[in-house]
Amino acid sequence: MPRNVLLLVSRLLLAALFFPSGFHALADIAGTSGYFAGLGLPLPTLVAWATGLFELIAGLAILVGFKTPIVALLLAAFCVAAGFIGHYGQGGGDPTLTFLHSQMLMKDIAIAGGFLALAVVGAGAYSLDGRAFGVGADVT
């Protein structure tokens, strides 16, 4: 499959996680802030708004390929931080929950790896970045 098509598909798949998550976090700010309060984070309502807006805007930027290297680096850092804050050491002694949280942590780390790769190679020709910098002529 051509390189630019694969980059488009990778952006679509990654954005499919963050854009809807940000939308849902903002649509249920009480539930989102309750989750953050349960994790012991200070100012959970502010964290909920900031997280929801970040996921929504960054997810949209990845989707359309806007400032992809910068946004991908920010999302990679976000994934690692969110994984450790939300999943490391969680489970409360329940082996099933402990396993689930350890898998979720590893998933977040793996997604960060995908964002790091995207930051290195860029968004490809089928993106705003590709069009803005003249890369769009090579649409193989």
Using one digit for the tens of pLDDT, what is the confidence trace for 38-94? 989 999 999 999 999 999 999 999 999 999 999 999 999 999 999 999 888 887 888
3-class SS of residue 1: coil
pLDDT for res 93: 84
Location of structure tokens 């910068």: 70
Sequence spans of domains, the chain = 1-133
Does residue 17 or residue 93 have the better pLDDT?
17
Section 2-11 average pLDDT: 94
> Which is more confidently placed, 18 or 140?
18
Report the C-alpha gap between 81 and 135 in whole angstroms. 33
Q: Which two tokens stand for residue 17?
A: 């996680």
